[in-house]
Chains A and B, each alone.
Chain A
Amino acid sequence: MGIHGLSKVIGDNAKEAIKEDDIKNYFGRKVAIDASMSIYQFMIAVRQQDGQLLQNENGETTSHLMGMFYRTLRMVDNGIKPVYVFDGKPPTLKSGELAKRTQKRKEANASKEEAEEIGDQEAIDKFNRRLVKVTPEHNAECKKLLKLLGIPYVEAPCEAEAQCAALAKAGKVYAAGSEDMDTLTFGSPILLRHLTFSEAKKMPISEISLQKSLTGLGFSMAEFIDLCILLGCDYCDSIKNIGPTRAIAMIREHKNIETILENLDTKRYPIPEHWPYKEARELFLNPLVTDPTTIEIKWEAPDVEGLVEFLVRDKGFSEERVRKGCERLEKNLKTATQGRLDSFFTVKPSTTPSAGAKRKADEAAAGAKGKKPATKAAGRGRPRK
């Protein structure tokens, strides 16, 4: 589930760290995608009109395959080179969080039965979605699909986000693609969100830069990790009554959790009985990952007949659509990818002379009357009277 409220914290404190851009401007980028999370997303989002999971004739779920197939195609169409990363064994620290999720699922199941009794269709749908569970079979089918598509995947020894971050850190890929904000906490220089959303949503890609987030917050990486633990991560509870604002203020003042604890009024802020924050920190700093330098990522031509066999015969997809999709894949593989200038030239800090800075300072002084609103209106050059 990532870090509680982190995207808002970054949005409020380091606005420049988040950039929205059209998916088509990411062509030529290699991106490591958290597969497990994406599959979960597909099973929730890719549904029939009546809210039921997509199924083939034999009643087997196909939502995950449908999502994987079309959303991957969408990325490839836009010139992105995806590599999927699957979760391995969850870290022991996550057992608490996982137990909570199982508990929630049970609750949802109970609520669903209740809803069924009174026949509240909307509620049934809602709880149905909460009941979604990605089974090992779903994962295996997705891997099979990726293999046939010629899209590479990596099996992480532990958390997929951590492996994505490691790949991005090592420069193997441009960014990590996930919705989970803890990908940043794991040290991914760039996180892309909304990458696997459907075209219909018209959701721009949101690109979050770790470095700019740190600069905006004025934190070091170690302080940032401690902040994330205070905000609430998957690996340990957070302290009651400490919200984002207080967490930031505390880290600013005390720099790390140890010092915060020394100065904490434990009556107002009861520390959870078992609070393995050190282990959680260790997990973020040195997660169990496969050394990215040993991973070879290669995009290959799709196995068209294999895909037809698997998707059409076994899973009841439309043959025409599958073949069309394969054509698109092959075409994109063949055409040379457009290079990007930023991989040749280095971005240097703005050389805009002091005048620019001064104007900004003036603007701040002028308050709301500044030039920002003019940005929109600047479309019209206005003749002088």
Chain B
Amino acid sequence: MLEARLQTGALLKKLLEAIKELITDANFDCSDNGIALQAMDNSHVALVALLLRHDGFEPYRCDRSLALGVNLLSLSKVLRCAGNDDIITLKADDTADVLSLTFENTDNDRISEYELKLMDIDSEHLGIPDTQYDAVVSMSSAEFMRICKDLQVLSDSVQIDVTKEGVKFAAKGELGSGAVTLKQSANVDKEDDATLIELQQNVSLNFSLKYLVNFTKATPLSTRVTLSMSGEVPLLVEYKMEAGYVRYYLAPKIGEDN
């Protein structure tokens, strides 16, 4: 049986906003470690992996591992009934076919209870190899969102070049071209705005902007985002939270040589 109480309900709401447009149904894999989810989008271009560690909940109890199959749109609809300051408790029996959600508002002693029907989902789990990335860029998540949205005006794909000087996002389309370069900077005053680059080797990769813009829906979860890249392997976009993370993987666009 699972029982997980989350002090800031807003976190769960934001999480759902961050993934619900990419995937429709997914299994929440609950174990004593916490709650995890891994799912690919329909076209097998992007993958979401998220983890809410057990220490993010108070209390957290999961006696045996459970997979809760959920339609994410439905869950987000139910979560819309919760206030941002509500305490959210998730509960499911080992054999349950519903997930029960309780929203408590301490200010006005309001308690609402919902049950969400679960579903059987056959999902393909992907084994993600531990990769030593050639370039890891850590930057402001708001800045990343702005760049993606700005460049989307021009083209449906962006070329990301990372050198030790900085990271450059460039797009070229029918109406013209544009590029944004962020120089490596350790901005001491505003830590959140700094752009940090760890580089083994220069990289230059092409990605679909549609997907990147979709990933930036996770921006409210964290002020920072890291982009990890190596030649010819999927990009990793990670938003770290206090007790967990949301990771997006995106397959690169490949040139015509194949």
- Interface residues of chain A, those whose CB is within 8 Å of chain B, are 16, 24-25, 27-28, 333-356, 358-360, 362-363, 371-372, 374-375, 377-384
- CB pair B45–A336 under 8 Å, yes or no, is no
- CB pair A341–B116 under 8 Å, yes or no, is no
Expressed in whole angstroms, the minimum distance between the Cβ of A43 and any Cβ of chain B is: 33
Which stretch (B92-100, B134-142, B160-168, B191-199) binds chain A? B92-100
**Could you say which of B46, B94, B115 contacts A341, with CB atoms under 8 Å apart?**
B46
Known: A25-B42, A333-B256, A381-B116. Is A351-B234 also a contact (CB below 8 A)?
no
- CB pair B45–A341 under 8 Å, yes or no, is yes
Contact partners of B128 in chain A: CB under 8 A: 345
**Complex interface residues of chain B between 135 and 154 (CB less than 8 A to chain A):** none
A356 to chain B: closest residue by CB: B67
- CB pair A345–B71 under 8 Å, yes or no, is no
**B176 contacts A by Cβ under 8 Å:** no
**Could you say which of A339, A349, A372, A379 contacts B251, with CB atoms under 8 Å apart?**
A339
- CB pair A375–B119 under 8 Å, yes or no, is yes
Other A-B pairs beyond A25-B43, A347-B127, A352-B29, 14, CB < 8 Å: A16-B122, A28-B254, A337-B258, A339-B254, A347-B124, A351-B29, A352-B27, A359-B67, A374-B119, A378-B74, A378-B116, A378-B119, A381-B117, A384-B115
Contact partners of A349 in chain B: CB under 8 A: 125
Most chain-A CB neighbours within 10 Å: which of B64, B123, B233, B256?
A: B256
Complex Cα distance, B74 from A375, in Å, reads 12
**B75 contacts A by Cβ under 8 Å:** yes
- Interface residues of chain B, those whose CB is within 8 Å of chain A, are 27, 29, 31, 40, 42-47, 64-67, 71, 73-75, 77-78, 94-95, 97, 100, 113-120, 122-129, 157, 206, 208, 233-234, 249, 251-256, 258
Complex Cα distance, B147 from A368, in Å, reads 52
- CB pair A348–B125 under 8 Å, yes or no, is yes
- CB pair A338–B45 under 8 Å, yes or no, is yes
- CB pair A338–B31 under 8 Å, yes or no, is no
Complex Cα distance, B208 from A126, in Å, reads 48
- CB pair A336–B120 under 8 Å, yes or no, is no
A sample of 9 cross-chain residue pairs with beta-carbon separation below 8 angstroms, ordered by A number, consists of: A335-B157, A338-B254, A345-B126, A371-B120, A378-B74, A382-B115, A383-B113, A383-B115, A384-B115
- CB pair B65–A354 under 8 Å, yes or no, is yes
Contact partners of A24 in chain B: CB under 8 A: 43
Complex Cα distance, B119 from A362, in Å, reads 13
**Could you say which of A336, A338, A353 contacts B65, with CB atoms under 8 Å apart?**
A353
**Could you say which of B66, B124, B206 contacts A353, with CB atoms under 8 Å apart?**
B66
- CB pair A355–B120 under 8 Å, yes or no, is no
- CB pair A353–B97 under 8 Å, yes or no, is no
- CB pair B74–A341 under 8 Å, yes or no, is no
- CB pair A348–B126 under 8 Å, yes or no, is yes
Expressed in whole angstroms, the minimum distance between the Cβ of A36 and any Cβ of chain B is: 27
Contact partners of B129 in chain A: CB under 8 A: 345
Contact partners of A27 in chain B: CB under 8 A: 43
Complex Cα distance, B71 from A382, in Å, reads 13
Contact partners of B44 in chain A: CB under 8 A: 25, 340-342
